[in-house]
Each structure stands twice: as structure tokens, then as C-alpha cells.
């Protein structure tokens, strides 16, 4: 079972930010900015590429609810989802990184 499925089952602890019947948001263990949250579906999909559009659609509403909950919806935030080897995706369970809490830099991708 993948590490995020274990987090969903509470076999591994996490710092929850928001949850509903379909999705979970929790703090990244290795934050890259003052706010760094991971948002995952409770059903396992490997990445954005292999996820049904309906899941992505529902997930976008949940992500907006997370942004509102932590009050970054007005000042802004960044969403990132890594897909496959060239992106450096480490955990093969669909997740969006919600990064915020500072003026974020851009670039240095290669």
C-alpha cells in the first residue's frame, strides 16, 4: 500500500487541514514555503494523467475550500502536481501541492 493510502487509513500520522468523504488535505512533512499542504483523493490514482476528469473536477472544489479554510484564497497560492519520472514525482498517488504564505519565486526548473 502506498504511503498516502496509509495516511488516509491513519496508519501513518498526518497533520490534517481539511477532510471530506472524498479528499484529504494535510501538511507536507518537508515544507518548501511557510504554507505547504498536500491534497489527495481517498481513492488511489497514480497521477493526474491517470485520474478521471470527474475526480479532478471535484478535487478542484475541495482545493478551493482548503484555500479558503487557511485564508490564502485572496492573497494567492500556487498549485503543483508532479506527473511521472521527469517531474520528479516521488509518491505515486495523485496529489496537489498547495504552496503559499510568501511571495513565491519562479524558475530554475532545469
Query: Which residues lie near ligand AMP (CB under 6 A)?
Result: 3, 12, 14, 28-30, 38, 82, 88-91
Residues 23/41, Cβ–Cβ less than 8 Å: yes
74 vs 110 by CB, closer to ligand AMP: 110
List the grid coordinates of 102. 510568501
In this structure, the number of other CB atoms found within 10 A of the CB of residue 95 comes to: 26
CA 63 to chain centre: 8
20 vs 29 by CB, closer to ligand AMP: 29
Annotated catalytic residue: which of 36, 44, 93, 95?
95
CB of 80 vs ligand AMP, minimal distance in Å: 7
Phi and psi of 97, rounded to 5°? -90, 125
Give catalytic status of residue 95 as yes or no.
yes
17 vs 55 by CB, closer to ligand AMP: 17
Residues taking part in catalysis? 95
Amino acid at each position: 500500500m502506498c504511503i498516502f493510502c496509509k495516511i488516509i487509513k491513519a496508519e501513518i500520522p498526518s497533520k490534517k487541514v481539511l477532510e471530506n468523504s472524498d479528499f484529504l488535505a494535510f501538511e507536507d512533512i518537508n515544507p518548501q514555503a511557510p504554507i505547504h499542504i498536500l491534497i489527495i483523493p481517498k481513492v488511489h490514482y497514480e497521477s493526474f494523467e491517470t485520474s478521471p476528469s470527474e475526480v479532478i473536477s471535484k478535487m478542484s472544489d475541495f482545493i478551493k475550500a482548503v484555500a479558503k479554510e487557511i485564508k490564502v484564497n485572496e492573497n494567492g497560492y500556487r498549485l503543483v502536481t508532479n506527473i511521472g519520472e521527469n517531474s520528479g514525482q516521488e509518491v505515486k498517488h495523485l496529489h496537489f501541492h498547495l504552496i503559499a504564505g510568501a511571495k513565491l519565486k519562479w524558475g530554475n526548473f532545469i
